[in-house]
Structure 1
Amino acid sequence: MKRKSRYELLMRRRIANTFDQWKEKDQISGREVYNFLYKIRGIARGLGMKRVEFLAAERIAEITDDEQAIWAHGDWKRFLKPFVEIAENETETEPEQLPGRKEEIIRNETIGRKEGRFGQDSEIILLIDHDVEFVTGLKNKLEEEGYHVIISLTVANGFKNFYTMSPSFVLMNIELAEGNERLEEFGAAVRANLTPLALISSTVHERSRAQAYEFGATDFIDKEVLEPEWFIPYLRNRLALSQKILIDELTGACNRKFMERALSDLLANYERYNEGFAIAIIDLDHFKTVNDTHGHIVGDEVLRRLVQLIDEHKRKTDMLCRFGGEEFVLCLPKTTEEGAVILLDRIREQFSKEQFTSSVGDFNVTFSGGVVSVNEHNHTRERLLDEADKALYQSKADGRNRLTVYSGDLESTAVKKLQVLVVDDDRLVRTILSRSFAEWQPDDEVDVEVHAFKDGQELLDSNWYRPNERYIILLDGIMPRMNGIEVLERIRADYDDKNIIISMLSARAGEANIVHALEKGADDYMLKPFNVQEVLARVGRLSRRLLL
């Protein structure tokens, strides 16, 4: 007999354990039967057990997840007879311990869907529409093409995701029932950032078309005829055009594309004429709090004032570029590290005294920075930015509102820590994800720690949270004792949002489930069954906004 994989044995053991638990009860609910079949179908698909997957899918089609439905012992045993036989006919025993670390870890274990092609550097597309079936269908098609897609169901949440994720393209339904004023405000923000915005509508007439362009839309699209076959080439076209623009209209600074060219020119002069230069990465401190407390419009005023202040102090030959969000890169030709620090300290002190005003009240903002000069060891664009970023991270770690000059010592001290928490009652899912993330390294300077919890209650009862850490939580939507939505609500209510990103894991693609999760504060969701490499790529993208 061909030896079965340990993961397959673990899955079969799980079936047997579930049935053993049910045998102790007089009756079980329809929800329990339904959830069991969904979990088994996903695991079987991932492990290539086609017969088990088919049997589960066949049974799912015959029932609902009605909590009120009652299944007596004989009822569920007859209905699930094929699975009872699978469990009872298993002759091999599962080892007490999971495979040791010396054995090959499954890196490409598939828990279902075909592998997506997007990575950490893929373009981010923001979809804003209350039609969950439409946006999830389009999301799947776009992610097959290598894009990373974020969904918002309201304009308000769209604002949040626009400022935190810095998408390259926005598609929004003009019919969202939040009022034209909110739509106009969002359109102005997107236009100010020179981000392509396409508005869609199911009712196309001249007034709605005119209104779309008044809101700042690049295009107006009839939702009824939007098909991936032509939308994807259209999207590539719009993204290519947007990359040619070199000025960030919101702040007046140059954009990232210009920065890349500027650094290339500075490095060329260094190679040819030994002409030195310095660069600095500047990042506003606690800027998310500014946006959350005082609003994004006021946050934009803060960004513009910082750029104005730097322009007042820098030389004409110095180049200020917006690197993304609240982060800027200042290129300083013929400047030493010492000269860069003198200039930036003067700007930093003056900026910290600037008073901003909103409906909430007056407030001040500070920034931190990392400085590095070119030398024979770092004369590439990637290396310079990496060293400046390490110095910036050290400034943040030392308390913010300060500058740090890069030194070799930072290679060991500026390690960024990321906690990945896997919360799932399915032992096999926990095992595969935990072991994959244990070997995962999204960046050379990121130290990843992985922790697994068998359900939400175990997570909440543990001493898992430390204020200075950053967390990605993969949270199963359906668990015993406390379901994923309840855990999500508790975390959002009790802990600091800016330190935690939550991605819901769900075996149920129903519209109501996705809406519920997003409304309660989930940052992302992934449908089971999924591919582990896809999960790693998505988490890599999500983690970026946590690590500064």
Structure 2
Amino acid sequence: METEKYQKMIYDRMQDNLQKWEEREFITEQELYFFLHSLKGTAGSIGLNELTTVASEKIEPLKETDEKHWNNSEWKSYLAPLIEGIGFYQKNFNMHKVEQEELYLVKNKSEKEFILVIDDDIVFITFIKELLEEKGYSVIVAHNGNRGLELIYEMKPAIVFLDIMLPDINGFAILENIIKKAKKERMFIAVMSMNDSKQNRMRAYDIGALDFIAKPIDSDILISYVTNRFAYQTELEQSIIIDELTQMYNRKYMNAQLQNLIQQFTRKEEPFAVAIVDLDHFKKVNDTYGHLIGDDVLQGFANLVKTVKREQDIACRYGGEEFVILMPNTSAEEAYVLLERLRETMAKKYFTANEINFQVTFSAGVVDSTTVNLHPKKLLEEADQALYYAKQSGRNQTIIFDELVGDVKKCITIIVVDDVFIIRNIMTNHFATWHPSDKYDIKVIAYSDGLSFMNSNWYTPDGKYIILLDGMMPKMDGIEVLKKLRENYSSSNVIVSMLTSRTSEEYVLHALESGADDYIVKPFDIREVSARILRLINRVFI
């Protein structure tokens, strides 16, 4: 991967920072410390080892929490080697023109699980993101701890790279908060910090982090690390067949048993049915009562399934609040009777949180095995289509797959919010005729400003949305729109991608802090945007 663009970004960012300081009467020693701390951790990772050396020397006598005032002449004198380096770079370094490309596009189309990077340095996370995405990994970034916590709970990353020094929450506090969940979900948590003291390493390992990676990082080693951890995770999942939270069989075991049922059908024509069950409005349970109560609901439902199901039935946790039940020697009609008995029993069950009783229902889709659909992917797709139909038809019901259900496509709404007519026109015309798959019905809506968008009736609870949101607009700024969106909607059904230019770095930072899932750099190639959106749909919504 070319590093010149990131070297340019870091020099430009330094220059912008120093120019802002020049306009002020003084800066604090704490500001000086954090400036050098960020520089030390990022510069070496992108080949600017001299900057790392200077930053390391300059940060040594400073105190992280000191509010001492430094006037212009004092900090300029202290940072003279860095200021001279910026001038030399601007005058003599023949930087090739940096293409305005979309930094979040995964060029390798492999469907690998994604990585979450929680770090407040925009140059560093952009560099890491492109480095790993060139190898086919999906990467999401969080620019502060609160957003990182939200994404961990909403999207369950496979690997989390966690910086210690964040603007809102100490990285160790985040680690303590998520370690139990990380172990249950078998996430790899790696603390990544410039301060790799023995004390910090010990603390990270004592809390439960699996790794500690010192900044500046070596790109080749990081890629090898990620490859190693994914390979290990695959082996680990294959060796474990029980979901820890629900004590039901897991997805790996379900896949193996589904293959066995298909083989039995082929050899002996033994019929079987496949059902997918999804708890209704489960996000609302988590948002209202908390994730621990949400876990109690999942466990309660799992226990109920074990009580109601027949001995021959194989019940598995498919992922999140979705479950698969395999029913040997069973027709879809017979499976329907079993599922309805389970559904009615579940609807009568009460859960308790803070002395408040509440109920949870589920929707289910079921399909028969036939000679036409005798493939794991096809069977699960048809059961999922029936489930989708059940949800679209009002939830709390069981639907058997048939030709009518099979014609129902999943609706994905792409919303473009941008005050530039040309951009709106290009996107709406493109996506209006975009057909990435027979499984999806793509709808596109455009708004010329954030206010008209927020005042419209764009949202329905059963919908799935990808919002392409411009950062700078009249009437209501894009960041303000983003914050309001994140107050009400999670990334599980509303994905927000900010549209910005490379020179407007502040919008990228604000977007990540405020809950953006992605960002697209203007000008962009509409085909690359389409490829990125398709990956988001396949990973998050399906």
Does TM-score exceed 0.5, indicating one fold? yes
**What corresponds to 2:30 in structure 1?**
none
Q: Sort the Cα spacing of 1:509 and 1:241 in 2 relative to 1 into closer, same or farther, 3 A.
A: farther
Q: 1:520 maps to which residue?
A: 514
| Structure 1 match to 2:331 | 336
Of 101, 106, 114, the residue aligned with 1:112 is: 101
Counterpart CA distance in 2 for 1:400 and 1:262 is 28
Structure 1 residue 434 corresponds to structure 2 residue 423: no
The residue aligned with 2:134 is 144
Is the 2:162–2:189 Cα contact (8 Å) retained in structure 1? yes
Residue range with higher mean Cα deviation, 519-528 or 275-284: 519-528
- 1:162 aligns to what? 152
Question: Alpha-carbon deviation of 1:197?
Answer: 2.2
CA distance in 2, matches of 1:493, 1:201: 30
Matched residue, 2:322: 327
Task: From 191, 195, 202, give the equivalent of 2:194.
Answer: 202
1:276 corresponds to which residue? Answer: 271
Question: Secondary structure of the residue that 2:415 maps to in structure 1?
Answer: strand
CA shift at 1:469, angstroms? 4.1
Q: Secondary structure at the match of 2:403?
A: coil
Give 2:349's aligned amino acid: E
Alpha-carbon distance change, 538 to 357 in structure 1, aligned in 2, over 3 angstroms: farther
Partner of 2:360: helix, strand, or coil?
Answer: coil
- Partner of residue 348, structure 2: 353
Contact 1:135 1:151 in 2 (8 A): yes
Could you tell me which amino acid in structure 2 is paired with residue 484 of structure 1?
A: G
- The answer on 1:238 being equivalent to 2:229 is yes
Q: 2:120 aligns with which of 123, 127, 130?
A: 130
Q: CA deviation at 1:490?
A: 4.6
Residue of structure 2 in register with 1:75 after alignment = none
Structure 2 residues without counterparts, runs of 5 or longer: 1-11, 24-98
Specify the alignment match of 1:476 in structure 2.
Answer: 470
CA distance in structure 2 between the partners assigned to 1:295 and 1:326 by the alignment: 15
With over 3 angstroms needed to count, the CA separation of the structure-2 counterparts of 1:435 and 1:228, relative to structure 1, is farther
Are 1:212 and 2:199 matched, yes or no? no
Q: Show the counterpart of 1:185.
A: 177
CA distance in 2, matches of 1:327, 1:125: 22
Cα distance, 1:221 vs structure 2: 1.9
Equivalent residue, structure 2, for 1:452 = 446
Residue 120 to residue 208, structure 1, CA distance change in 2 (3 Å): same
Q: Is the 8 A contact 2:194 2:216 kept in 1?
A: no
Q: CA deviation at 1:214?
A: 3.6
> Which residue identity does 1:477 align to in structure 2?
G
**Counterpart Cα distance in 2 of 1:181 and 1:116:** 31
Q: Which residue of 2 aligns with 1:313?
A: 308
CA deviations over 1:457-515 (Å, ceiling 9, x no partner): 45346564556544321011123443312333454568898753321111136654223
Kept in 2: contact 1:243–1:257 (CA 8 A): no
Pairwise CA distance, 1:126:
1.4
The count of residues paired between Structure 1 and Structure 2 equals 445
Q: 2:223, 2:539 → 1: CA distance?
A: 26
| 1:367/1:509 CA distance change after superposition, 3 Å | farther
Matched, 1:404 2:399: yes
Cα-to-partner distance string for 1:367-425 (whole Å, 9 max, x where unaligned): 1111112011111111101110011011111221221111111122x222222121223
**Offset from partner CA, 1:137-170 (integer Å, 9 cap, x none):** 2112112222211122344433322233232222
TM-score (norm 2): 0.73
- Distance in 2 (alpha carbons) for counterparts of 1:457 and 1:342: 49
The equivalent of 2:38 in structure 1 is: none
Residues 493 and 541, structure 2, Cα contact 8 Å, conserved in 1: no
Return closer, same or farther for 1:282/1:215 CA change in 2, 3 Å cut-off. farther
Q: Is the 8 A contact 1:368 1:403 kept in 2?
A: yes
Distance 1:496 1:291, change over 3 A: closer
Quote how far apart the aligned CAs of 1:282 are. Answer: 1.0
CA–CA distance in structure 2, aligned partners of residues 430 and 482 of structure 1: 17
Q: Equivalent residues in 2 for 1:219-230 (5 A)? A: 219-222=211-214, 224-230=215-221
Q: Which of 1 and 2 has higher RCO (CA within 8 Å, sep 6+)? A: 1
CA distance in 2, matches of 1:525, 1:369: 35
> What letter matches 1:521 in structure 2?
G
Conservation of the 8 A alpha-carbon contact between 1:199 and 1:221: yes
CA distance change for structure 1 residues 466 and 253 in 2, over 3 Å: closer, same or farther? closer
One-letter identity of the residue aligned with 2:328: P
1:487 is aligned, of 481, 496, 521, to 481
Residue of 489, 499, 507 corresponding to 1:505: 499
Q: CA deviation at 1:118?
A: 4.6
Partner-residue secondary structure (3-state), 1:371: strand
- What SS is found at the alignment partner of 1:530? coil
Structure 1 length-normalised TM = 0.73
Structure 2 CA distance for partners of 1:527 and 1:361, relative to 1, 3 Å:
farther
Q: Distance in 1 between matches of 2:450 and 2:19?
A: 21
Once the two structures are superposed, residues 87-135 of structure 1 have per-residue CA deviations (whole angstroms, 9 ceiling, x without a partner) of xxxxxxxxxxxxxxxxxxxxxxx97348632548342111223333322
The answer to whether the 8 Å contact 1:267/1:379 transfers is: yes
Give the CA deviation at 1:206.
Answer: 3.8
Counterpart residue identity of residue 479, structure 2? I
| Contact 1:119/1:538, CA 8 A, preserved across alignment | no
Q: Match for residue 295 of structure 2? A: 300
Q: Which runs of 5+ in 1 are unaligned?
A: 1-57, 70-109
In angstroms, what is the RMSD of aligned CA positions?
3.3
Change (3 A) 1:390 1:211: same
Pair 1:521–1:356, CA change in 2 (3 A): same
Match of 1:530 among 516, 524, 532: 524
Per-residue CA deviation, residues 284-318 of structure 1 (Å, 9 max, x unaligned), is 11111111111112212222222222223334543
Residues 395 and 403, structure 1, Cα contact 8 Å, conserved in 2: yes
* Equivalent position of 2:359 in the other structure: 364
